[in-house]
Structures are given as C-alpha cells and as structure tokens.
Amino acid sequence: MIVGTRSVCRAAGAIDARYKILDVLPCVLWSVAVFVFIKYACAKGGAKIKAVCMKLSGYTFGIYLVHWYILEVYNRIYGRFANISHAGFVYSLTTPFVVTGLSLAAVYLLKRIPLIRHMTPS
C-alpha cells in the first residue's frame, strides 16, 4: 500500500482520491496491524510500558474525536508556511505523529478545564 500510494501520488503530483477511502482493504489491514501491535506491546511489555498504555487509554476516544479538526488546522498551517507538497514523503511520514501528538495535547488540556472535563469522554 505504501509503495502503491507513493507511486500513484508522485505520478499525479497530488494525493490520489482512491487512497483516501478508509474502508478499502489495505487501510483496514493497516489499522488492524497497528491495533494488534499496540495490544501485544501493552500486554507483553514491562511495567513502565503497561503504565503508559493504561494512562493513554483514557485519551484514545478523545483523540479520535478531535484529530480531524487538528488535521484540518495542521493542513492549513502546513500549506501556508511549509514549502513541501502534501503528496510528499516528509508530509506523509510526519503528519500522523504530529497530529496524534497535538490531539493528545488538546484532549489533555480539555480534561483540565473544570466545566469541559465532565463533557469529554474518559
């Protein structure tokens, strides 16, 4: 999937729409692979890894809820200030980590606001 996406997007010079669909088989397989990796890493890891997994498990649904908005803002800022294509290798490699980190920070901050704390999932 990675090689195919890279080849098609490079030839088109933009993100190809057929790889943006979330229910195609390669995307589903990647999602399952990440889930299984994290599940076994948390289950088989040491005490520190289990503690981190338990702490982050309270943020996963919140990250899921806000990541789309963070991604939209990130894309607008990225497109305005960075001189790198959205179809580029650097963008594709860094965006998931940046957006997940920013989403985690946003949910963490939302859980610290007294009125909103009760409205966010735990």
pLDDT bin (cut points 50, 70, 90) of residue 103 is very high
Percent of the chain whose predicted confidence (pLDDT) is above 70: 81
Summary mean pLDDT of the chain: 81
What pLDDT sits at residue 44?
87
Are the CB atoms for 43 and 72 separated by under 8 Å? no
Q: Which two tokens stand for residue 12?
A: 């088109």
What does the alpha-carbon distance between residue 54 and residue 70 come to, in Å, rounded to a whole number? Answer: 24
CB atoms closer than 10 angstroms to residue 27 = 14
Higher per-residue pLDDT: 100 or 30: 100
Percent of the chain whose predicted confidence (pLDDT) is above 90: 16
22 to 2, 14, 28: CA distances (angstroms): 14, 18, 7
What does the alpha-carbon distance between residue 106 and residue 66 come to, in Å, rounded to a whole number? Answer: 8
Indicate the range of 30-34, 40-44, 54-58, 91-95 predicted with least confidence.
91-95
Q: Which two tokens stand for residue 74?
A: 């990130």
- Tell me: the pLDDT tens digits for 50-88? 888 888 888 888 899 999 999 999 888 877 776 666 656
DSSP state of 58: T
What does the alpha-carbon distance between residue 56 and residue 54 come to, in Å, rounded to a whole number? Answer: 6
Higher per-residue pLDDT: 121 or 7: 7
What does the alpha-carbon distance between residue 87 and residue 32 come to, in Å, rounded to a whole number? Answer: 24
What pLDDT sits at residue 117?
74
